[in-house]
Amino acid sequence: MNDIPILMAAPMPATVIDALDRHFTLHRLWEQPDADAFLARHGAAIRGIAANALAGRIDAGLFDRLPALEIVANFGVGYDNIDARAAAERGVMVTNTPGVLDAEVADLTLGLLLATIRRLPQADRYVRDGRWPDAPFPLSPTLRGRTVGIIGLGAIGKQIARRLEAFDVAIAYHGRTRQRDVDYAYYDTPVALAGACDVLIAIVPGSASTQHLVGAAVLDALGRDGIFVNVARGSVVDEPALIAALQSGTILAAGLDVYADEPNVPEALRALDNVVLLPHLGSASEHTRAAMGQLVVDNLTSWFSQRRVVTPVPETA
């Protein structure tokens, strides 16, 4: 397989780069002084892409420049950076990295939820600023007695729910359909779920169907004691509506790991004291990123050696 040309569109962990270098002829697009000129010269030979969210949009326009392309292996469970339908129309396989990051994202979600409700970053700043000798830190809200709603009860959503059970809170969910093997309360719209909960966690894929799924109506229904946590995609939330809700007290607080225009976080969000902001850390541990990287390598090597993959996305399965 060493003579098979693979395009890496943006940097990945060194372990992934080294492994792909061993198996394939790896072209690092981000190192090219003129990416368009490189694609014009070499695009016809490229048979695979190793992609991630930093690579930008991988769509029909790029596919047309890569006529020999057979597979796009994405580093991440979310693949809204790839036009999978356009890939399927061209017979191009698309893979992602589900499963190996579920537990890490669920752990991070619970940490972000607790940090938001108990105001842990604000308390840390209070100590660092030397304010504790002057007065105790103000009492925080609590998780006790709350109902937590989860928008998107997929593999990660279920792991979040199982962790929440240990906190003795009521759990409800919204999804496209009711799940017969789930005992949690089901609501058929995000607004209905928000109205029944005072914590709302978003963990759905980014897509046209989930664009601004959480907007002003959902935030109004969540209410003045409501906590919103987003570990899905920034596109899932109407960000200006969220900022307005936080500024006006429509909801109490928010914990955010994702944003509409990463890594650019609006100044209006950064200025608020009732929001906890993380730089998209969901799966960002050494252990989990190594497992994700290995799955990218496994998908590519399996495709070119056996004509099958480990984790195809539904559109191209």
CA–CA separation, 173 vs 158, rounded Å? 10
Q: Where are the alpha helices (DSSP H) in the chain?
A: 14-23, 35-42, 60-65, 84-89, 102-117, 120-128, 155-165, 190-196, 216-222, 239-248, 267-270, 286-306
Q: What share of the chain is helix, strand, coil (3-state, %, to 5)?
A: 40, 15, 40
Name the DSSP letter for residue 256: E
Tracing tokens 């061209």 back to the chain, one arrives at 90
Active site residue ranges: 233, 262, 280
**Cβ-based neighbour number of residue 53 at 10 Å:** 18
Nearest of 76, 5, 72 to residue 42 by alpha carbon? 5
